[in-house]
Amino acid sequence: TSPRAIRNFCIIAHIDHGKSTLADRMLQLTGVVEPRQMKAQYLDRMDIERERGITIKSQAVRMPWDCQGQTYAFHMIDTPGHVDFSYEVSRSLAACEGAILLVDAAQGIEAQTLANLYLAMEHELAIIPVLNKIDLPAAMPDKYAEELAHLIGCDSSEVLRVSGKTGEGVEDLLDRIVEEVPAPEGDAEAPARAMIFDSVYDTYRGVVTFVRVTDGQLGRREKIKMMSTGATHELLEIGVSSPEPEATDGLGVGEVGYLITGVKDVRQSKVGDTVTSAARPAESIIGGYQEPKPMVFSGLFPLDGSDFPVLREALEKLQLNDAALNFEPETSTALGFGFRVGFLGLLHLEITRERLEQEYNLDLISTAPNVIYQVTDESGERHEVTNPSEFPDGKIAEIREPIVDATIIVPAEYIGAVMELCQARRGSMDGMDYLSEERVEIRYTMPLAEIVFDFFDQLKSRTKGYASLNWQASGDQAADLVKVEILLQGDRVDAFSAITHRDHAYAYGVKMASKLKDLIPRQQFEVPIQAAIGSRIIARENIRAIRKDVLSKCYGGDISRKRKLLEKQKEGKKRMKMVGTVEVPQEAFIAALSSD
């Protein structure tokens, strides 16, 4: 296809504003999916095909569209929705010339609407503002068209109004794409360059790599080269998804499609990398390539120690489809053998843990997640700390922690509540703008550690669910942080060590000590529980001693009952861990580590 007849675009929207439903209507109207095959959220349901072994998740769909006597090839490129994957969003946007900014006509602009819009503007995309769900009785299209027009600086009459549900306005939208999204430009004679914007592992076909060709062309059976690593691979198949995979002879300037090389590990075909021809390689890569960088670390331990090899194998398998996942073995006196795992964010952590538990049938315990700290000790040596156990003992010269730029959108009546929360989380305010009379965008710089865990839940509950949040990494800052340790009878319990701000250390210590006091059964001797910063004790609880002689209960009783009790006690022992001389039931660790 000639580049002049190509339009590459994405749909950007806040969650639930109707992206998938609109995509469905487009598939239907352009005729690539027949009405009788149509089902809701077609593109999200491609795993049905996976079972038949012909999967290619449609990260990019090619659709024909006739407008004013000419046939155009549209490539609709999907963008992952969550902040954890913002680098991948940015790569998807880099593969487009235009973006449909979709806003729910009953909700208005939300935080992800803004975040995505700013990203799209950074990539200099043509932006088509669209209000969706105009069929809803609660829709207020006039009001939100005004808001949207104000935001992007256009006239409110230019804001399209559609319903992904009924299809109203969608044909007009497709025509607008032809008119407003620029055709791709590139040098057809130059050495081939294509950017990878997604890469997925398929059990049957190995890694399927989604690319957008910028210059030259890639042909069938060609030998390709990954520019960040220099690795070369034979192309086994090249094609487009429409939305089922269709092999083609090649891909030219501006075209979007997939490559299959038979490699088995997505780390060999990384999002953001540039593919070129091995025979006639290009000189420079497209855009800056970034290694996926973990932001949050947590220890993962199998409840049953004998599952350790299963966990290792499972993590290795997940890594085939997740270039951002990294891990190394870790040993804990309390929890045994496990792994220290790095994640892009908390959602990434939760998804990974869920998959490990469901797909690999593992029972896991995860330690409190933490961010990466840069610690300089007194001798001037720097340590990158991803685990409280690596925190240097002795005097510290400086600790730096990662910070983020956070954007929160709320109805104006909640400004006070949001500011209070952000202040309590060590935020410093950068600014505030009214989007309309009653809705405000509030901007804060905050420590990542304060935002990454329960912040969003807190924000939601303090704003009756109305707030939306987005954030992005923005460097680091010096901070007054300390390592709090928990001691049982003088022995350190590594699983409970945490790096916290000095002001929060006391609260953490008291909370942990009292939790453990309730969770650990009384022993035959008194057990002090202490929280300490270095050698300074900041909190203390006591578990009082008992005479734990279960047999005395059945004094004179029959022997079988006695045996049963002994047996039960033995079973209980198996799930006990020894911390120094104290027996701690595994449940206590789990309960104490799970957030409250």
Residue ranges of the annotated binding site for GTP are: 16-21, 132-135
Q: Are 373 and 481 in contact (CB under 8 A)?
A: yes
**Nearest distance from residue 25's CB to ligand GTP, in Å?**
9
Residue nearer to ligand GTP on the CB measure, 105 or 296: 105
- The residue within the footprint of ligand GTP, chosen from 49, 135, 171, 180 (CB under 6 A), is 135
Q: Which stretch binds ligand GTP (CB under 6 A): 11-19, 191-199, 356-364, 544-552?
A: 11-19
Strand duo 481-488 + 498-501: pairing: antiparallel
Binding-site positions:
16-21, 132-135
- The residue within the footprint of ligand GTP, chosen from 67, 136, 190, 347 (CB under 6 A), is 136
Tell me 191's DSSP state: P
d(CA 521, CA 572): 12
- The two three-digit tokens of residue 108, written as one number: 């208005």
141 is a contact residue toward ligand GTP (CB under 6 A) = no
Q: Are 183 and 5 in contact (CB under 8 A)?
A: yes
Nearest residue to 22 (alpha-carbon basis) of 180, 172, 155: 172
Residue nearer to ligand GTP on the CB measure, 15 or 247: 15
Give the footprint of ligand GTP on residues 182-201 (CB under 6 A). none
**Nearest distance from residue 27's CB to ligand GTP, in Å?**
13
**Nearest distance from residue 151's CB to ligand GTP, in Å?**
19
116 is a contact residue toward ligand GTP (CB under 6 A) = no
- The residue within the footprint of ligand GTP, chosen from 133, 340, 504, 577 (CB under 6 A), is 133
**Nearest distance from residue 401's CB to ligand GTP, in Å?**
31
Residue nearer to ligand GTP on the CB measure, 19 or 123: 19
Region of residue 53 (left: phi > 0; alpha: psi -120 to 50; beta: else): left
Residue nearer to ligand GTP on the CB measure, 115 or 486: 115
Residue nearer to ligand GTP on the CB measure, 165 or 540: 165
Distances (CA, A) of 219 to 57, 206, 237, 240, 242: 22, 19, 9, 13, 19
Nearest residue to 512 (alpha-carbon basis) of 400, 367, 344, 325: 367
**Nearest distance from residue 582's CB to ligand GTP, in Å?**
47
| 541: number of Cβ within 10 Å | 18
Q: Which stretch binds ligand GTP (CB under 6 A): 133-141, 145-153, 470-478, 557-565?
A: 133-141
Q: Are 186 and 215 in contact (CB under 8 A)?
A: yes
Q: Which stretch binds ligand GTP (CB under 6 A): 10-18, 299-307, 353-361, 530-538?
A: 10-18
132 is a contact residue toward ligand GTP (CB under 6 A) = yes
Indicate the SS3 state at residue 27.
helix
- The two three-digit tokens of residue 463, written as one number: 């704003």
**Nearest distance from residue 15's CB to ligand GTP, in Å?**
4
Give the footprint of ligand GTP on residues 18-37 (CB under 6 A). 18-21
Evaluate the CA torsion angle 316, 318, 321, 325 in order and state its sign. Answer: negative
586 is a contact residue toward ligand GTP (CB under 6 A) = no
Count how many Cα atoms sit within 13 Å of the Cα of residue 247 in the half-sphere of its side chain.
8
d(CA 342, CA 374): 16
Give the footprint of ligand GTP on residues 152-181 (CB under 6 A). 163-165
Chain CA centroid to CA 379, Å: 37
Count how many Cα atoms sit within 13 Å of the Cα of residue 8 in the half-sphere of its side chain.
27
- The residue within the footprint of ligand GTP, chosen from 6, 13, 95, 130 (CB under 6 A), is 13
Q: Are 380 and 397 in contact (CB under 8 A)?
A: yes
User: 466, exposed or middle or buried, with CB in 10 Å at 0-12, 13-18, 19+?
Assistant: middle
> 208 - beta bridge partners?
200, 260
> Phi first, then psi: what are they for 472, rounded to 5°?
-140, 150
Residue nearer to ligand GTP on the CB measure, 143 or 462: 143
Give the footprint of ligand GTP on residues 67-106 (CB under 6 A). 81
Residue nearer to ligand GTP on the CB measure, 164 or 254: 164
Residue nearer to ligand GTP on the CB measure, 18 or 294: 18
**Nearest distance from residue 41's CB to ligand GTP, in Å?**
6
Q: Which stretch binds ligand GTP (CB under 6 A): 127-135, 362-370, 466-474, 528-536?
A: 127-135
**Nearest distance from residue 105's CB to ligand GTP, in Å?**
8
Residue nearer to ligand GTP on the CB measure, 165 or 383: 165
- The residue within the footprint of ligand GTP, chosen from 2, 4, 15, 542 (CB under 6 A), is 15
Give the footprint of ligand GTP on residues 419-458 (CB under 6 A). none
Indicate the SS3 state at residue 300.
strand
d(CA 471, CA 404): 6
Indicate the SS3 state at residue 287.
coil
The site string for ligand GTP over 377-416 (x = CB under 6 A, - otherwise) reads: ----------------------------------------
Separate counts of helices (H) and strands (E) for the chain? 14, 34
261 is a contact residue toward ligand GTP (CB under 6 A) = no
Contacts of residue 39, defined as CB under 8 A and 6 or more positions apart, other chains included, come to 45
Angle (CA) 51 52 53, round 5°: 90
Contacts of residue 573, defined as CB under 8 A and 6 or more positions apart, other chains included, come to 583
**Nearest distance from residue 258's CB to ligand GTP, in Å?**
22
Residue nearer to ligand GTP on the CB measure, 81 or 580: 81
Residue nearer to ligand GTP on the CB measure, 105 or 488: 105
> Phi first, then psi: what are they for 451, rounded to 5°?
-105, -20
Indicate the SS3 state at residue 38.
coil
355 is a contact residue toward ligand GTP (CB under 6 A) = no
Residue nearer to ligand GTP on the CB measure, 18 or 129: 18
The residues binding ligand GTP (CB under 6 A) are: 13, 15-21, 81, 132-133, 135-136, 163-165
